[in-house]
Amino acid sequence: MDTRRSPDFPLVAGLVFTLSVVAIYFTYTGMQLRSLRHLQAETIDRNRADSLLLLRIQNNLNSLALTMRDMLDQSEPYPLLAWKGQLKRIEEDLGDAIAREEKVSRATDDQKKYLAASVAQFWDGMQRIFALADQGQEAEARTRIRLSLQAREEALNTAVARLLVQNNETEQQAAAETQRIYAGAERNAYLFLAAMLLLILAPGVYLIQWIRSMFARVASLSDRRSELARQLITGQESTFSSLSRELHDDFGQILTAIGAMLYRAGKRIPPLDEKLRTDFEEVREIVQSTLEKIRTLSQALHPMVLDHAGLEGALQIYLTGYEKRTGIAVKQTKEGETQAVDEAAAIHVYRILQESLTNVARHSSSPSVEVRLRYLPKTLVVEIEDHGVGFSQKSGSRGMGMTSMRERAELIGGTIEFLKKEGGGALVRFAVPLGDNPVHG
């Protein structure tokens, strides 16, 4: 996998595809919901209203049947015309129910015509019955009720019952269709969820793999950078050590020899020639000053005192000179019993402390500094604490110094912290493993 290739295109393509799937799903779901609303509004609700009206018609027909039964009952002392008002109310209510039912009925045109015609014939027959009764022919009227009207009422009841059965069947079909739509919507929801999980998982896995490869690349670059830093620092120390020896051994000896020769030559100057003697002394002082500068430069390039006095002795000498050069009061403390520090590690400890104290002198404006050495069982902890402005100032050289200090700490397997203290001041704390020191050279 090419870790340098940006994942933008695959991720954008995945996003577009995901949005397309979402749009298709919601469009299809919207169509199903509209179909469900139409089914509910046009079929279920309409069938329910139709069934209620058919039940109302059926109830009127039952009332009509009971009335005709009472009319045929010979024990009743009332004439047939006494039921005319009651039948008129039933006729009006039945007519209203039939008119309403026709508006919502899903029956065929033939069924509607048959029901309307049957009702009209029934009331027409009923009018003729009342006409006979009005003429005093009640026995004939009752006979016609028994032979004709009751049969017509039963036929009407049967027709209404058939329509109710049709409505029930339609409602069952609508319920089944509703169940099918709900089942489809539920299935689609699960399919959509599964698709979304896959669509989320696929870019997620791709992105994780890409991030892992990028981290691997960064780690590789970091390792290479660290290795390069080790080589640079090691080469720098080697160069500094070589220059230090050259300055100390060659130039230092040459200047020492020149100084000795000038001293011997000065003894042969005539006592009365004060001007020549003064010139000789000035030359000797210049040579001696140059020799001191070379020794200081040699010490700065590579503290040879580390080879003779060890880390603590070298630090003591450096801190004494630092206090004289900068005017910053130095307080040095030690905790624990002194332990040997590997020679390869000692130079890095020395350089870290040197760089830290240089930062104090350049940036902190602190009048004093504390240097603490703490010997733990397997670790040397060094702390440099000042009471100045802390790390608030921005300085490019200071930043490079911190980077160099971090690199040196890593070279000897140690850790370093740059802490800002409350109330002002800074604390640099680094820890160096003792014993089998994992120094990288």
Q: Give CA–CA dist 379/405, Å, rounded.
A: 18
Cβ atoms of 306 and 346 within 8 Å: the answer is: yes
Contacts by 92-95 with C-beta closer than 8 Å and gap 24+? 93/56, 93/60, 94/57, 94/60, 94/61, 94/64, 94/119, 95/119
Q: Is residue 286 part of a domain?
A: no
Do 335 and 193 share a structural domain? no
Same domain, 182 and 312: no
pLDDT greater than 80 at residue 17: no
Domain boundary among 160, 185, 208: 208
Q: Is 92 helix (H, G, I), strand (E, B) or coil?
A: helix
Q: Is the pLDDT of residue 245 over 70?
A: no
* For residue 441, pLDDT beyond 70: no
Q: Which residue has the higher pLDDT, 198 or 28?
A: 198
Confidence bin at 3 (pLDDT 50/70/90)? very low
Domain count, the chain: 2
Confidence of residue 38 (pLDDT cuts 50, 70, 90): low
The residues near 387 (Cβ < 8 Å, ≥ 6 apart) are 364, 366, 367, 368, 424, 425
Edge-first strand listing for the sheet containing 426-433: 329-335, 368-375, 379-386, 426-433, 415-420
What distance in Å separates the CA atoms of residue 267 and residue 387, rounded to the nearest whole number?
Answer: 53
Q: Is residue 174 part of a domain?
A: yes
Structural domain boundaries enclosing 49? 8-208
The tens digit of pLDDT for each residue in 212-228 reads 888 888 888 877 776 77
Over residues 381-391, the mean pLDDT reads 86
Evaluate whether residue 372 is within a structural domain: yes
Average pLDDT over residues 225-253: 69
Per-residue confidence (pLDDT) for residue 4, from 0 to 100: 53
Q: What is the pLDDT of residues 408-422, one digit of tens each?
A: 888 888 899 988 877
Residue 281 in domain:
no
The reply to whether 32 and 172 lie within a common domain is yes
Residue 358 DSSP symbol: H
- Residue 290 maps to a domain: no
**Domain finish residue from 188, 208, 228:** 208
CATH number of the domain within which 347 lies: 3.30.565.10
Quick one: pLDDT at residue 241? 65
Beta bridge partners of 143: none
Classify the C-alpha dihedral 12-18-24-29 as positive or negative: negative
Percent share of the chain, pLDDT over 90: 11
Q: Name which of 42-56, 204-218, 230-244, 247-261 the model is least confident about.
A: 230-244
Q: Are residues 33 and 152 in the same domain?
A: yes
Domain co-membership, 16 together with 150: yes
Asked if residue 34 belongs to a domain, the reply is: yes
Least confident of 128-132, 206-210, 434-438: 434-438
For position 236, what pLDDT does the model report?
A: 67
Residue type, 127: Q
**Stronger pLDDT, 237 or 427, i.e. the higher one:** 427
291 lies in some domain: no
5 or 243, greater pLDDT: 243
Q: Which residue has the higher pLDDT, 123 or 30?
A: 123
Query: Which range (66-80, 123-137, 246-260, 363-377) has the least confidence?
Result: 246-260
> At 272, which helix (H) or strand (E)?
none
The model's confidence at residue 249, banded by pLDDT at 50, 70 and 90, is low
Average pLDDT, the chain: 80
| Residues forming a β-bridge with 159 | none
Segment (H or E) for 360: none
- Alpha-carbon distance of 194 to 252, in angstroms, equals 82
pLDDT of residue 422: 75
Q: Which of 208, 243, 277 finishes a domain? A: 208
Residues 310, 203 share a domain: no
Where are any strands of DSSP class E within 144-227? Answer: none
Per-residue pLDDT band for 347 (boundaries 50, 70, 90) equals confident
Residue 92's pLDDT band (boundaries 50, 70, 90)?
very high
What average pLDDT does range 353-376 have in this prediction? 89
**Are 198 and 314 members of one domain?**
no
Arithmetic mean of pLDDT, 97-125: 87
Residue 282 located in a structural domain: no
Query: For residue 138, is pLDDT > 70?
Result: yes
Mean pLDDT on 144-152 = 88
Greatest mean pLDDT range, 154-168, 241-255, 382-396: 154-168
Q: Which helix (H) or strand (E) holds 384?
A: strand 379-386
199 with 321, same domain: the answer is no
